[in-house]
Amino acid sequence: MPCDLLDLSREELAVWLAARGLPAWRAAQVLRWVYARGVTDFEAMTDLSRELRVLLAEHFRIAPPMIRERLVAMDGTEKFLFGLEDGETIEGVLLPERGHFTLCVSSQAGCAQGCRFCLTGRGGLRRNLRPAEIVGQVLAVRRAMAEPERLTNLVFMGMGEPLANLEPLLQALSLLTDAEIGMGFAARRITVSTAGLVPQMIAFGRASRVSLAVSLNAADDATRSRLMPINRLWPLGELLAACRRYPLPPGRRLTFEYILLRDVNDSPADARRLCRLLAPLRCKVNLIPFNPHPGCAFARPAEEKILAFQKVLLEARYTAIIRRSKGEDILAACGQLRGRRAPAAN
């Protein structure tokens, strides 16, 4: 089967063209058709010579994931079920914001982290996604939108642990932020979330200028290890040391995500421990009230406890935002994604 063109970086395509006696600048010309205009048929790339179109068609295909199912929540959030070529499926979520849209992107089929509050991890990791399958989610959703220009923000908070699939993730981010080929997402408008893979964090920070969010969810090792098995491998001391070394771009802050679970990590004492833990860091905190899903024993705290937790952080002069969930009625909120096999499209 021909190679998927979406798996190639601009530099790799330029090298491939140069090896065949073609100028390197043709790479950007070809990729603009794909990423700026959404064209997947080489024959439609009309400003390329006939010979080049035939050559490309002989060696490459363009196959973004197919949208198998599209659900719309009462609040306007949309969940997409993408079918991959091997029969695997992944999910992504399009979030309506004030004046723009944010797409929540998956980086793996399934997840190996096993966080106890997350539906995605229950089925384990099935496989990593290729760059084509990561970037292809953005292309597929943008093509399905009535106003694709309003898709300005991306968050890698869908299925999987992004930093466990580091090289394909970095290649996808390079394509997504490349203005010359027509994607041109601003690095400040892309956020990658991690459960705390310490060895990969610094490498990621050196290789990319997008924002990083660390899923923390507890301020002591006993609680965090109970919620997130990764903490047994890299406990809070090592994780926070990596956060202190993280190469933040000027004017940027780390984001810490904290899922509030009733009677587990939601007390004022927990909030005070969190303040002490984060004290040396330039950061902000996203508080995420737990999103229930079938078969999970956790519950969302009462509203007054959520506000009391936030108040402790605000009084300590942290930026602490309560992130209200969207799409709960279609299981599209944080921690609720879980791809499944779907019938092939007709």
Active site residue 3: no
Provide the strand spans (E) within the chain.
Answer: 3-4, 60-61, 66-72, 78-83, 89-97, 100-104, 108-110, 125-128, 151-156, 190-194, 211-215, 254-260, 283-289, 319-322
Residue corresponding to tokens 């007054």: 304
Which one of the listed residues 118, 275, 283, 334 is annotated catalytic? 334
Q: How far is CA 162 from CA 133, 197, 327, in A?
A: 13, 10, 22
The answer to whether 240 and 276 are in contact (CB under 8 A) is no
Residues in CB range of 215: below 8 A, 6 or more apart: 115, 193, 194, 195, 196, 228, 257, 259
161 counts as catalytic? no
CA distance from start to end of the chain: 22
Q: What's the rounded Cα separation, in Å, for the pair 242 and 202?
A: 7
Which of 78, 88, 91, 133 is an active site residue?
A: 91
How many residues are listed for the chain in this entry? 346
Q: Which residues are catalytic?
A: 91, 334
